[in-house]
Amino acid sequence: MKRLFLAPLVVSALLIAACGGNQKEESSDTTETTTSETETPKVDIPGLDTVALSNDLALAGNDLMKYDKELFRVKAGEPIKLTFKNIGEMPKESMGHNVVVLQPGTDLPAFGGEAIKAVDNEYIPATFASSILAHTKLLGPGETDVIEFTLEEKGVYPYLCSFPGHYGVMKGKIVAE
């Protein structure tokens, strides 16, 4: 009778000890991962290693609401020259394009929602002025605009077309190193 009573107690004690041990290991692994990510932030963008480092950028937009490039690498703290061309054929009023370079962390859906209201300012919303680092003019078919700006700090800067409905698909990233 004593054996039957002791066997479940021994098994229960072993299970409790085993479960408690795993929890300790998992929490220490999580702490190590968080610490190492904080110490050495890494930019993990697919294809970044295949993009040449250049502060002279050329970009084109078309009637399919696409930029021909979605990723650039630049040197932080140095002037950047961006040449943008609308290679589409549809009229500016129905398929205009621009390029708006934004601060890292900008809420893109909120920006797009405000851009729709900024008809009189070529869809550049004044409510997001502090988030906008640079922008081209709104271009019609065959038009080109050149802008110059500097990304002072290293980071990932989103760019997009602010014409209504375009920001969700017509976007990319500039990685400043």
- pLDDT tens for residues 89-117? 999 999 999 999 999 999 999 999 999 99
Same domain flag for 55 and 32: no
Domain of 160, in residue numbers? 48-176
Same domain flag for 27 and 72: no
Same domain flag for 67 and 8: no
pLDDT at 77 over 50: yes
Q: Rounded to two decimals, what is the model's pTM?
A: 0.76
Same domain flag for 58 and 90: yes
CATH value at residue 168: 2.60.40.420
The predicted-structure confidence for 137-154, as pLDDT tens digits, reads as follows 999 999 999 999 999 999
d(CA 11, CA 21): 15
More confident position, 17 or 37: 17
Same domain flag for 81 and 163: yes
Overall number of domains in the chain? 2
Tokens of 152: 């002072």
Same domain flag for 28 and 81: no
CA-based torsion, 33, 35, 38, 40: positive or negative = negative
pLDDT at 8 over 70: no
- Backbone φ and ψ of 164, nearest 5°: -50, 125
> 144 vs 88, 114, 125, CA distance in Å?
12, 25, 22
d(CA 156, CA 126): 23
